[in-house]
Amino acid sequence: MLIAGILIDKYGRRLLLLFSYAFLGMLYAFISLFGETLMGLIILASIPWSILTILFMMVIWGDICSINERSYYVAISFIIVVICRLFYLIEFPLLIQQIFSFITIFLFLATFVILLLPETLPESIKQKKELEDYIKKVKEIKKKYG
46-96: pLDDT as tens digits: 788 888 777 777 777 666 677 777 777 778 777 877 776 776 677 666 566
Q: What is the model's pLDDT at position 121?
A: 66
Which 8-state DSSP code applies to residue 118? P
Which 8-state DSSP code applies to residue 119? P
Please give the average per-residue pLDDT across 20-41, as a whole number.
Answer: 74
Of residues 8, 106, 103, 113, the one with CA closest to residue 51: 8
Model-wide pTM > 0.85 = no
Going by pLDDT thresholds of 50, 70 and 90, the confidence category of residue 26 is confident
Residue 145, pLDDT > 80, answer: yes
- The span from the CA of 64 to the CA of 96, in Å, is 36
